[in-house]
Amino acid sequence: MPVARINGHNMYYEVHGEGPPAICMGGWGTFCHGQHHHLARSLKDNYQVAIFDHRGIGESDDDPSVTPGMQLYAGDVAGLLDHLGWSDVHVVGLVGMGACIGQELAIGRPDLVRSMVNMGTWAKPDALFRHQMEMLRDVHRDMGWEAFQKLVCLWSFDEDYYLANHDRILGPEGPWRELRGRFEAHDRLIQSCLSHDVTDRLGQISAPCLIVHCPLDIVSGPRLTKPIEAMIPNARGYLLEGAAHVVAGPEMRKRFSDLLGEFLKETDNAMEVATR
């Protein structure tokens, strides 16, 4: 799979599927390296989807002399889409900073964004979110990656899923494995999360937006996502009942996939009508 020199770093990416262009971004991890099966079925079955490694994880390198921030990561994504020759792209940001990057992309490069999906995210950290991020950073630094992974899993999955699957999700092959042995990269990601603030610019977004609210998300739930919906003129919100920070389990994954697929199809149909 290719690595391209983009925005001052070597960026690993993959493209899967066929159809209109889309990009899917997660938080402190990647959908790459055999993990693309975690993409929503409605996305991977109907779209040509780009996925990538954030700076400093997977096979993407980083320059520690460059100040981290969501605008930097959005510049990476814009550069990747320009490299691919894509515009008018469905931008799907899930589980944290991927959605923040989508916000910055929709503000700074509206030519690239056909639609934007946000879930599990924020426009500006509040005190609770800030303290949670600081705790995750401190645990990773002082107690190690295994303790960090356990804590973030406890906060991110609903209790029934965690009880049924903790033996499978905890460990070096489980979620957030990309950060194992990479505290410095994790610290830079956290700095970007804590400095993110688009509250005075979200109103500039003109693309159709779907903001998914997850009521069981104790990290970036509706208290942080509802204001995003209110600040974007062309946004609609959807309360995904029973959803935590990470959408997990066959039933919840299907519900999210159906919601996403319906929104993207509706957006495509509206664009087609508008260009006739």
The candidate with the shortest Cα–Cα distance to 18, out of 51, 49, 52, is 49
**Containing H/E element for 236?**
strand 235-239
Q: What is the pLDDT of residue 270?
A: 85
Q: What is the pLDDT of residue 91?
A: 98
Q: What is the pLDDT of residue 145?
A: 98
Which is it for the CA torsion 75, 81, 86, 91, positive or negative? negative
Six-digit token string for 89? 């792209």
Q: What is the pLDDT of residue 1?
A: 62
CA distance 66 to 38: 31
How many other β-carbons are positioned within 10 Å of the β-carbon of residue 138? 11
Segments of the chain scoring below 50 in pLDDT: none
Q: What is the pLDDT of residue 148?
A: 98
pLDDT digits (tens, 9 = 90+) for 5-19: 999 999 999 999 999
Letter string b/e over residues 95-123, b meaning 16 or more CB atoms within 10 A of that residue's CB: bbbbbbbbbbbbbbbeebbbbbbbbbbbb
Q: What is the pLDDT of residue 271?
A: 76
How many other β-carbons are positioned within 10 Å of the β-carbon of residue 77? 28
